[in-house]
Every structure is written in structure tokens, then in C-alpha cells.
Structure 1
Amino acid sequence: MLIAFNKPYGVLCQFTDRSTPPRATLAGFGLPAAVYPAGRLDHDSEGLLLLTDDGALAHRITDPRHKLAKTYWAQVEGAPGPEQLTALRNGVELRDGPTRPVVAEAIGAPSLWPRDPPVRFRKRVPDAWLELVLREGRNRQVRRMTAAVGLPTLRLVRVAIGPWQLRGLAPGQWTEVAPSL
């Protein structure tokens, strides 16, 4: 079984939380028993999360050797210039080493659900949207890459993993999808 889930902002990619006070987890969304996340999204990121009860499938989805493309829409602070997009496309030097090259394009503001809490708005600082396609998955990689080129991420939404797409799922909704890899 493979589940596509639209993870809302502020939800942990796990079913339990032992912190005080407890934070929102996947347990509150009526997901089928025995599925677990194939990968993760930070609690302050939104969008497509795949869950499965098949360990081999989870491995194929998450193992970097398979180089499965992950597509993100990032709202960034500032207006991206050609040199910043080129830097992203060529790979960025981070503390844990250089990233692989990514597909990076400026896009118009996508039609998304409102975020709660809303993204901060500053009259004097423009914002823009980027579409980034990565084939690796380091911790907070998109946020670290955009910050490294002077474009801090304000909102981050994963819209696709390989052939699977968010396709209109509202935050907190899920559907079973074909495990076609």
C-alpha cells in the first residue's frame, strides 16, 4: 500500500511525540494502520509525504542511490537574479559539502491553500517563488540552499516525489496511489 498525504504546516512526520507540550503528529489524520513515512518533511514544511507498509518500496523511494526527483515550490524573500538561479543550478557549497546540481526556475505564485499561521509579509522586501527539483535529500536542504544564495525560504511546499504528485489534496487529506516504481 502507498499513501499520498498532504502534510500540513506544523505537523511532525511521525505518529508519536514525547515533547511537552505535545506537537501535532500524523496520528491525527486517520491514516491506515501499519503505514509509516517513506522520507520526511520538516514540521515547518508542507506538501506531499508518501507513507507505505512496504519496506522495500520505502527503501526505493528514500535511498539516494535511486536519485528519485523531489519537486518543491519555495517562497523566498527577495527577487532571484540570474546569478542566484545559476548558483542553485550548479550546486551550492554547504557546511556538509557541495550539493548536487538542481533544476531551479522562478515561477509565478502558485495557487495554494492559505497557511496557518500566514507567512510574514514585509512591504519593503519583495518575495518570489522558485520551483526546485532535487535528486538528493539532505536535512533542510532547500532552505539551506536558498539561504546560501541570499534568498531565505519563507514557505516550502513539496509537490512531487518521482511520479507521485500532490494533485489537489487539501492539507490533511490523503489517498491511496499506485506504487509504480
Structure 2
Amino acid sequence: SLTSATRVRAFIVDDSVLKRNRCKKAELLARVHDHTTGRFVRGYNMLTLGWSDGFSFAPIDFVMLSSAKLANRFCEMKERLSKRTQGYKRRMEAFSRKPDAVAALLDRALQLGFAADFVLMDSWFTQAPLLRSLMAKGLHVIGMIKDMKQRYQVGNKRMSLKELHAGL
């Protein structure tokens, strides 16, 4: 109610690496890949879901991701933890794959009554399975596309990203 109905609203998905190179015993500390440097570091991936109307930005949810691979984790979660608590649920969520975590964040936002005209994300997230999942929820996506071997259907023609770009 604080924004005009004529403004375009967007969910914004972003991930950031939280480096903890000096930590040794932090719970769920893991070896995570930093896409900006191309290296692995000790720490966590923080996946954030924000909402914007073009003038305002509000972070509305996040998930701290560890590594799903046991070999990449330096420290496990506490053993004596009640499985009924939100803390336990958040710890289990830390083992999610990024695309699954994005879908879960958006599900929670939609259930809480947030609405947006589209989802804005960077090229790491713009993958066919996640795009199909979001489109099934009625969410349109704006994101960069990686130049990979995949083909794009344009009318009856299948085109590479370079062919698609040249045709514009």
C-alpha cells in the first residue's frame, strides 16, 4: 500500500560469498566457490531475496548456504538440536542447492503476500530448470544468459546465443 500500482515491481535474487578464512570451528563452515574470483574460500554463500519498485529496495528473506558435499564442510552442525526448531530447519536449508533455495525463497515470499512483476537475477541463476520452475509459479524472469552449448527456440528455428544476438 506504500507504493503506486503503476510502478514495476521486482524480486531481486543475489548471492554473496561471506569469507571466514580465519575461522576453524564455525558451525557448517565450508569450502565454497567465489564466482567473482574463481577460487574456493572458507565461508558461506548468502543468498538474498529482495523486493524493489524501482525507487525502494527491501531485503525480504535470505538463506545462508554451506555445502551439500560432506567433503567440503569443515565443521558439522551441533548434534543435540531439536528437529522441531526453526534453527534446525535453517541449518538443513543450508545444504540446499542454490536453484532450490531460490525457489524456496520465492515460495515463502509469495505465501506471505509479496508480489512482483518479474524476478531479476544474474547469469549464474538463469538456468533452464530454475526458469521453468519460476514460470510455473507465474513469475517472469529477467537475467543474463551464459554463452553455452544450449539452443533457444525462436519460432520454428533453434539458435545459439551468438546466432540469436546476430539476428537482433
Which structure has greater helix proportion?
2
Q: Which has the larger radius of gyration?
A: 2
TM-score normalised by the shorter chain: which range applies? under 0.3
